[in-house]
A and B are shown apart, each in its own frame.
Chain A
């Protein structure tokens, strides 16, 4: 589904991501962990075509994000760490905006909006301007917008930040549902317990370099993910 080969991104002299390679298969929830400034957000932004990179290649379903960005973007959805949405729109207007861009027919989008908005309990707020939403509500809206076109690959940067426990539980269910239907999830998190319980595979990144990746068992063995992460960080 997603192949990252030797991804390198530099900001001036500083190398934010250094020759990173990852393969994310269909049906997988792939966690991406690392300290602050490790290069997680840079990688995620490069994957969804927001950030140009210096070296390497990223392909989504066999198509290059560099040369075939639009085709790639049709298959993915991205939720950033800080959901800065259009404050001047109402929630429903924003969802219709995204649905129009993806060309989702009216009846299908209505069903999906209804399903997810009800699940997150924000249906009654959809007519209000986004400017009046709390951080958690914006995050919920960003999640619904990401799910509205049933993407094959969902890229999320710290998706659980700001969500209440119920919403976080619902999101975990939605993530698993996407993978059960043949999709894939690639997300970053600092919450190691969540990564440990939810992910099929994980990658640990430090100072732009991949230091360990594989299935949860391969990475942590009998230890806790927290212990492994701290040990690797100390090295």
Chain B
């Protein structure tokens, strides 16, 4: 099964080529990475037959110590992995194709595609890994790629900050995941993913259910970070600073779904208590993020909160042990959410504007984008027949078996989902443009609830995006319409059988169908009335309360502010205190030592200058003085010389004759 290794290696090879020769390849660069991913699709498809027959394909090799079975790692494909492979490769290819148009004018486009390739390689490694440590390696690599791609336009300070925030926040979850792996290695001594059931029973038989709960919660904490669940969801909305295709691929369809995949893969580890926590966190995230999405005014932020909310829904399903339903929703969500993001990207590409309060009436200028966005919105709102309906239906049915009180809540939240997605669609493509496009002058921030008034948008320079962007969106649109049939009675629940699940519920549940349709319609009505028309159907007495709730949701429940106050500021204060300690005490000691040496040097220099040099100079000066004395004899006057000579001669004569 050597071709298994080729699946992640193909995009990795594209990454290597692009990072070294990308600039020289120029326009060809994107197609290198698309070709590599298309190759991965080919291999994935060739595996379908075997996987559909329930086979598990694997490839394993020794790593580190040959004799220790703990350290043999490998790749393996079963239904779950194959599904993720298909989602990552197909959506990855479509989005890379879209990026050819979106990033055409970017001077660093080749690097962008290199990062995308690296991301796909890491993500494929993550879903193929059959060993916790290998999975963790892929997990960290996708985190790195996410960081690189969020801050791809690092000239923008917000983008750089968003990348940092995403990296640090997910890192917190990753640390939990790593601790979970270490705990499992320590107590179970096994880290192979196909031995998870064995690990569970081993620990349960040793009466270590508590440890199992802790380990599963630590693993879940990693998923919380990656999938942006409360309390680590704060990075995902900020991550929208990255290029839109990145938001679509990484922050909607694939990487954030890795948390769902991880929990689905390791579900046997989860005890009843940890499943309760998974369900609770999923539900809280689903509801809170949904209400925040209702109030945001930036297209991409609405979609980001909607993603968080939908991921929460998947965790609700996982908490109810409905792996099939969760994965089914992951599958359909990947299509319609990627499509929503690409549509938003198309709007941003055409108008250079992503503030909803300044958009509007684009349906005439961009008919294809508008139509595809409508398909995605309808699919997401869960209108029957469209794919979102089938996956939500599956979740509702599965959850209803476990907790009868849940379906009504989820139906209520389906109204919210429909409301925010249609609000986005209507504000973007219908009504009138509110403020002419001109950067820098606009009522930022708060969305007023008053009817649309102000000026008219100049639509003339806005035109539909090029075919290279529309085509991938159209393919995703097909997925958003028909993808759901894979898990419907029409195909005899092929999706669930593929995952090896037993389907307990055959046939269409008519009351549920009606309720879903009603929820979607109600959401649409609310979006139309409140979002587009600006009517507030609240009695006057309840308005202040409504306004306060709106403010609360608009400010994202002040969670960012809370973190700032509770974590970031104390942390900064601590670092500042430490830095002061450094500058005063430690630097003082170091500088003091330096100063001491300097002073000693000064002292020695003075000794040299006075004593040693003084002696040498003194000798020289004495010789000089002596010479000066002798010089006085040498007058150059010949008569004096003669006088001396004669005087001397006379003296000698006198002495000798004495």
Tell me if chain B binds chain A: no
